[in-house]
Amino acid sequence: MYGKLHGACLYGIDGVIIEVEVDLANGIPQTSIIGLPDSAIREAIERVRAAIKNCGFTYPIQRVTINLAPADLRKEGSAFDLAIALGILMTSGQIQLPSTGRMMMIGELSLDGALKPVHGVLSMVDKAKREGFTSVLLPYENAAEACLIRDIDIYAIKHLKDLCPPNESAVSGDSYRQQPAIVTSLSHHKAAASPELSSSDGTSIFEDYEDVIGQLHVKRALTIAAAGMHNILLIGPPGTGKTMLVRRLPSILPSLSEQESLEVTKIFSAAGKLKEANSSLLRTRPFRAPHHTISAGGLIGGGTIPKPGEVSLAHRGILFLDELPEFSRNVLEVLRQPLEERAVTISRARAVFSFPAHFMLAASMNPCPCGYLGSDHPKQRCTCSPSRIAGYRAKISGPLLDRIDLQVDVPQPKEWSHQDKPLSSAEMKQQVLAAQAVQAERYKGLPLIWNSELTGSLLRRYTSLTPEAAKLLSHTFEALGLSMRSHDRILKLARTIADLAGVSQITMEHLAEAIQYRQLDRRTSDLIG
């Protein structure tokens, strides 16, 4: 006797359809699962056996072989429990599944037959839809998340008994049921509203820049960073508001688009970080702020079968590294690839995994170990030697600094009283949205959204300079000894500044402002002096 159903598992953050084949044969009673299962899948034998018996069905006293195909792909997780249980019941003639359409089954079983939710349902259901499946059977707690994928039928159950109540004509003992129970009692779920209508902007959860007194030049830099999704580093003494300023950055970012929302929600689903009974796509851009003790694996992802790290959880949003030099140098160096390629590639013996990591890096640091270099306060003088300052800054490599577009000084505010109304998040966001609209029109039909993504021929095409601006850039390149990467990033930054000004060509004023944000491109001796 042979039967085949379909389940799914995660491979990175993507869903993979797996064929669950069940074969019953005469011989010594035993159950084997083959097809590169992990320990959680091998333990499914005992969960399924107990669930089948506790729900009033009969577990076959035969040789049971379960194959998970393709056999050369390593599988993990407990999402195959339901498909394995139904495969055994169907093959042994105890239930009869509907013959119309293609159905995928996902779910973990408890010993009494209750279904428990699993991670990564959004990616699995999305894959099922693209592979031509017409319906998905899964735990009730995962129904709201699964319904975010439209044009596919979602059936949700809380217990194995909800599928097919045990047949009253069954013979007691270990013999099979005389008549198969026909699965007809499924509860059909569909999203009540489209994801666009059921999601909210979410920016109200963030505090407002109106609370920040002064620091207008820093707010200007943050507006530029948000308008073009440029990386930014704030440098200043303790207590100047660096962390406070960055933590308000999400309040001026535009909401996620439909495609971006799906990408971000799939990552959080795969990482098991979606709230229970989530009924909408994530609309607010992620803001991740890991502690400086994080490992390289925690930052970019890792494990035997890699899981997404903080850089992927910050996809389409912000990764905030507070007190940047306190992070391990090895941890910081792994950021170089995702900052350049917008993705993380992790190689293992059997496979190569790729995770999206298109994020804005926001960081803060003190100018020296004691924190008071450059302070003009009579009681807060820097006590660090030039060698200590050089060693402190050496924790951040030149190649990493090259990838940070704006390096902004944050001095101690001179005036703490409310003389003028501070610039609010609403006013800053209005400027950001206007610049975003310009970029959306300019890059229509191209595989990029933001100025920070410009490379190669596209960079040359869309960063037209006036003769005076071109001369200034050439002089600056030679005087500061800039790398070609810094050169290109100055052009991208100037492009965003021009977009905020509403002009098509980059002038000398736009370029000069972009250059003055490159604080750490000067020599360390110049900075110390």
Residue 145 in contact with residue 156, Cβ under 8 Å? no
| Average pLDDT of span 194-222 | 68
pLDDT grade for 128, boundaries at 50, 70 and 90: very high
What are the backbone angles phi and psi of residue 158, rounded to the nearest 5°? Answer: -100, -20
Among residues 332, 399, 316, 343, the alpha carbon closest in space to that of 365 is found at: 332
Q: Which of 164-173, 279-288, 289-298 has the lowest mean pLDDT?
A: 164-173
Q: What is the average pLDDT value for the chain, to the nearest integer?
A: 86
Pairing of strands 135-139, 153-157: parallel
| Average pLDDT of span 4-24 | 94
For residue 490, the model assigns a pLDDT of 95
d(C-alpha 25, C-alpha 32), whole Å: 12
What are the backbone angles phi and psi of residue 35, rounded to the nearest 5°? Answer: 110, 35
Distances (CA, A) of 319 to 299, 322, 366: 10, 10, 18
Residue 109 in contact with residue 47, Cβ under 8 Å? yes
Q: Which of left, alpha, beta for 296 (phi over 0: left; psi -120 to 50: alpha)?
A: alpha
For residue 78, the model assigns a pLDDT of 93
d(C-alpha 56, C-alpha 172), whole Å: 10
SS3 21: strand
Distances (CA, A) of 401 to 213, 335, 407, 452, 518: 29, 11, 9, 15, 10
Read off the pLDDT of residues 382-420 as tens digits, 9 standing for 90 and up: 888 989 988 888 889 989 999 999 999 998 877 655 556
Read off the pLDDT of residues 476-526 as tens digits, 9 standing for 90 and up: 988 888 889 999 999 999 999 999 999 999 999 999 999 999 877 654 434
Residue 233 in contact with residue 407, Cβ under 8 Å? yes
C-alpha Rg value of the chain to the nearest Å: 29
| Average pLDDT of span 173-189 | 43
d(C-alpha 428, C-alpha 253), whole Å: 9
Task: Convert 284-304 into a string of H (helix), E (strand) and C (coil).
Answer: CCCEECCCCCCCHHHHHEECC
Instruction: Report the first-to-last Cα separation within the chain, whole angstroms.
Output: 83
| Average pLDDT of span 220-227 | 97
Burial of 276 from C-beta contacts in 10 A (0-12 / 13-18 / 19+)? exposed
For residue 200, the model assigns a pLDDT of 36
What are the backbone angles phi and psi of residue 484, rounded to the nearest 5°? Answer: -65, -30
Read off the pLDDT of residues 290-314 as tens digits, 9 standing for 90 and up: 999 999 999 999 877 788 999 999 9
d(C-alpha 89, C-alpha 525), whole Å: 76
Read off the pLDDT of residues 353-375 as tens digits, 9 standing for 90 and up: 899 999 999 999 999 998 888 77
For residue 416, the model assigns a pLDDT of 57
